[in-house]
Amino acid sequence: MDVIFLLSRQTISSMIEQLDELNSLIEKSILDSFGLGDKIESIMPSKTLLRVQRYKAPPNGDYLNGLDAHTDKLLSAILCADQVFGLEVQTKDGQWHKLSPSPNSFIFIVGDPLMAWSNGRLHSAKHRVMMKGHEERFSLAAFPAPVEGTVIRPQKELVDEEHPQFYKEFDYMDFLKFSLSKDGMAIDALATYKLL
């Protein structure tokens, strides 16, 4: 985590501010795409967490796991990675795909609470980091974390006969605690709230 110590408080605040702005734009386009843009200002109240991650180069240039396959437990993530690629995403049919984003691009990842809020219309895809070659990798991610007391329930406009309610409502902090517990880590924690 050498990098984080080189960043001043001011730089970190300014990064959070800009990533928050980008996140608001993305949320706005999600709301617009569901026809909710005029009704709702933001998806749910959240506070941004910023995380820098460093992945060491595998020994002997092997192909090694840097971060286990998971879905994000925060609302969503905006990810900026350096030019050492490694992020892989799983499609619904179980295939893993290596991403090769263009330089200076950002990746938006849908988290489990956003999938539940959207009544399953947005998919929180499993992703992982696989390392290859001799270079270490850094990534920076901003995660909007739903605030304490948030109850995750599907947006009512996204539930109808054609799209019955997919998950029952749940307290976000209970979900987070369970997903970080030994039992929760062993399974797909969100699936325990499935109705269908």
Ligand X SMILES: O=C(O)CCC(=O)C(=O)O
Q: Which is nearer to ligand X, 113 or 154 (CB)?
A: 113
**Residue 149 neighbours by CB distance under 10 Å:** 9
Per-residue interface string for the shown chain with ligand X, residues 141-160, x marking contact by CB under 6 A: x-------------------
Candidate segments 24-32, 75-83, 116-124, 182-190, binder of ligand X by CB under 6 A: 75-83
Residue 19 contact among Fe ion, ligand X, none, beta carbon within 5 to 8 Å by kind:
none
The set of residues, in sequence order, having a beta carbon less than 8 Å from that of 43 and lying 6+ positions away, is 27, 30, 31, 75, 114, 117
Contacts with ligand X: how many residues (CB under 6 A)?
11
129 part of the interface to ligand X, by CB under 6 A: yes
The single-letter code of the amino acid at 101 is: P
Nearer to ligand X, 24 or 53 (CB): 53
126 lies in the site for ligand X, by CB under 6 A: no
Cα 1–chain centre separation: 21
Of the candidate spans 13-21, 37-45, 74-82, 118-126, the one that interacts with ligand X by CB under 6 A turns out to be 74-82
Q: Which stretch binds ligand X (CB under 6 A): 14-22, 33-41, 79-87, 158-166?
A: 79-87
Q: Any contact of residue 78 with ligand X (CB under 6 A)?
A: no
87's contact among ligand X, Fe ion, none, with CB below 5 to 8 A by partner kind, is ligand X
Among 79, 114, 152, 189, binds ligand X (CB under 6 A): 79
Alpha-carbon gap, residue 164 to 79, rounded angstroms: 32
In Å, what is the CA distance from 26 to each residue of 49, 84, 115, 123? 17, 25, 15, 15
In the region spanning residues 81 to 120, those forming contacts with ligand X, defined by CB under 6 A, are 81, 87
- Alpha-carbon distance of 22 to 13, in angstroms, equals 14
Which residues of this protein are in contact with Fe ion, per CB under 5 A?
72
Per CB under 6 A, residues contacting ligand X are: 53, 67, 72, 77, 79, 81, 87, 127, 129, 139, 141
